[in-house]
Structure 1
Amino acid sequence: MSLAESWDKYAVGSKPRRAVNATGDTTWLNWTQYADHGPNESVLGPVAGRRVLELGSGSGSNLAHLVTLGAMGLGVDVAPAREAVARERWADLAGLEFRTAEATAFLSETDEAFDVVLSIFGAVWFVDPHTLLPLIRSRMASGGTLAFSHLPAGSQDVKPGGAGLRHNHSPDAWEHLLTSYGFGAVSASLIEPPEGRTVGTMLVRALAR
């Protein structure tokens, strides 16, 4: 089974995001695996007028929220089913595009430049950082923001790929990797889980030098 087929199979079993969140918003950004928990889009800084790339955009909900704030968004996902769902759900939202592609292939072939790149439990978690990070940096404007989240090391989930292929590094390891590939001002920390849960979320942010 190919990578795209594996992710398509996983996508079929995914539950759609709720129509509104706990505060009644119809769009929002969620960095963690828990509803209504963790920081919001402020992690990225101002996004209005900025070109934003999401690697592993899924149904497009996080990216769509940034577009409602004035960003110009492009979502890339390896699963064809994800693009179809995202296009249908957000068809009426201008300034938002979706493409089906593997992250490294897209970054290697595109000539587009981005001010913000984000990956929420997405490509940064699954692709070798020694391959992916320099490709991301090559498509980012100087001073641009890269931010991503994933489960902490040792955590288990059911996404395709298997534990051996996930790059859930420690904060120190991410700082070393990011600074090695042209990023600075790295902040990496664990978001504590909500009450009654035991697994937190790693959130990493860096600026392109």
Structure 2
Amino acid sequence: MRNKYAIALVVILTFCGNIWAQEDENSEDKKNAQTEKPEKLKVQANNIVTDPIDPLAPARAAFYSAILPGLGQAYNKKYWKIPIVYAGIGAGLYFYLDNNKEYKRYRSAYKSRLAGFTNDEFYGTISDDGLREAQKTLSRNRELSLLVTIGIYALNIIDANVDAHLLQYNVDDNLSLVPHYKINDFDKTGDLGLTINYKF
């Protein structure tokens, strides 16, 4: 019976001794931590040289394209777009002028017939109703060509403005959007997603 008490006493004393030893070690660590000076934190910054952002650049590019089509693209250094702008505007103007010329031909022939003359270039081949329908079609085509030309001119201005905005857009490695594909270990299906990385 005494042996049981002696063993229990030894176990309790050993346990309490371990606890006191840990408390002493913790208190010594705290004292050492208080007396030691912390190391200085060194931060190295990457020197990223970027072009300064000009907030008026998009408005300036749009203004230049409004004055002279293609000038905004030249301001943005997108020279390859200038022939496309002039080809689109030139094609629209060509169809407008061609439809206008044909409209005037049919219009003058129709007026000549209304005046009672029979010497117009379409006499004997096209009836009066045919001349009226041709005038309607050519007038509609002429207006459509004018709308297309104005639309291409407006697109030229919008393109210069948007391009100037995108030239100042931040696309460095510290800011990235990366697609990733991962196999799920639980049910062996694929997970597709996007990872957004931003480094400060």
TM-score by length of 1: 0.17
Q: Which has the higher helix share?
A: 2
Bigger radius of gyration: 2
Structure with higher RCO (Cα < 8 A, 6+ apart): 2
State the TM-score, normalizing by the size of structure 2.
0.18
